[in-house]
Structure 1
Amino acid sequence: MIGTLLIKCPDSKGVVASVAQLLFGFGCNIISSDQFSDIAADMFFQRVVFDYSDMLVGPGNTAVLERGITEVARKYSMDWRVSYSTKQKRMALLVSKLDHCLYDLLIRVENGEMENCTIPIILSNHPDLEVVAKRFNIPYRHLPITPKDAASKAAQEAAIEGILEEEGINLIVLARYMQIFSKDFCDRHWRHTINIHHSFLPAFEGARPYHRAHERGVKVIGATAHYATSDLDCGPIIAQDVTHVSHRDAVPDMVRKGRDLERTVLAKAVRWHLQDRIIVHDNRTVLFE
């Protein structure tokens, strides 16, 4: 039984020792520990992976352990969260009409590349990709939107909220979902909503980035996975990658190369989130690779 503890707090002496002593006192065995001190921000970040199979209060009594963590957290003004390998994460995929990221994630989950997660639902504003969901035996919900109709958009978003709650979703992946959520929705969910943007942000945010990149004659194009805040394409960046292009590449060539990047960058970001390797601070991410 494996637990993962993520913490951030003002940098101070004794944090590492206190966390280690706490886990030792409960009979847990630390498997790995990684830490980072941001000197400029005077902040400390740590990821601790521990085995709690032989916990003195019993491995099923994690609430007692969490009360102990709370006491340490109070002493150091610490933000923290802990996850357990026995609790599988439930991931919802949101899509529109493009299927490349959807296929890639479904295959990776089916092959066991994405640890400790399941996909109970695929949601879309179009019916086109239901055939893909059927191939993987995953329920598909078509929730249409009437263009430029605010009431339709609000109703669709409310339906999404209901499904997320009903399915117990704790990770939302926008796998080329081409709709913008309301500020209220983003404020509730951004910490567990990952979007893939087909550009190397902050360059070419918004729509049609490959076309604009082609017009500018860029020599590299990229893809960016980030948490989806209410500021469009400005959320904390999780993963990015680039590939070279030349004057010989037309827009379709750039789109093809870009989609290859989108698959791998999104998969990497999702995997890191599932493995609890990311801490967000001031719209930036600390990533424990």
Structure 2
Amino acid sequence: MKLPDFEAWSIFACVVEHKSFTNAAQALGLSKATISKAITRLERQVGAPLFHRTSRRLSLTDSGHKLVEHAKAILSEGQAAEEAARDEASEPVGLVRLAVPMSFGLKHVGPLIADFLCANRGISIDMHLSDAKVDLIGEGFDIGLRIAALPDSSLRARKLRDVQTYIVAAPSYLERMGTPRHPSELGEHECLLYALLTTPELWRFTNAAGEEVAVRPVGRFRANNSDVMLHSVRSGLGIAVVPDFIVEEDLANQTIVPILTDWQPRAVALHLVTPPGTIRPHRVTALIDYLVAQLGR
């Protein structure tokens, strides 16, 4: 049995990451000729060119695009295996890259990370805050937190908890415009739209009897962050659909009130997701265990 050329696959991943043979050679401490020979060897093995080469530019071919994620996985698994062996007898050290939704990260993850870093002096964390969906593998993240109904993917996902979603408005808006009694009436109201929903132009609701209603909301304000929308809800500008961690304080203070409480928007949950593969550095496992313990309560 002929073993795969793991070195060539790893070099291929590094060339893609560093965008040139020269940069990859410098990063790996190898000669440019060694890099070139490894890529040529790999192209011969797969039977197709991996790069378009010009004097000014290096770009992936169709075959290169199809194979690059496999190469990144091979490199990542190899690095993780070596780190796991080193870490077994030592305290966790090194960098962990973490992708977190913006509002949830600010409210709930930031304080936890501060405590984690105080307890783990050898670990550094690069936390990326964004409500947009992040490509964990392509952008090199070790861990991601996602609040959604997750589609099938190659990522490994662990559900931490359900997230309650509320239909809310300010008392001033309801006094002025009236309180809808059925989701179908939302089409007659001013709605505030969260742009990063899977289908922001369509709100779906179900009740305990299993009835389903789909509504096309209309409104003058649309944003890709729920915290920003909350200011407009408080001001009485309209009705919004928001998760519990965004609106819990306002509900407690009654500055915002829930409506249509017999109906539920699409169910979502908080998930911890990681790239495929079972071997992880000790530092990544340490942060995963900590987040699961703290956020899965």
TM-score, length-scaled by structure 1: 0.26
Question: If you compute each CA radius of gyration, which structure gives the higher value, 1 or 2?
Answer: 2
TM-score, length-scaled by structure 2: 0.26
Q: Which has the higher helix share?
A: 2
Whose relative contact order is higher, 1 or 2, with alpha carbons under 8 Å and at least 6 apart?
2
Q: Which has the higher strand share?
A: 1
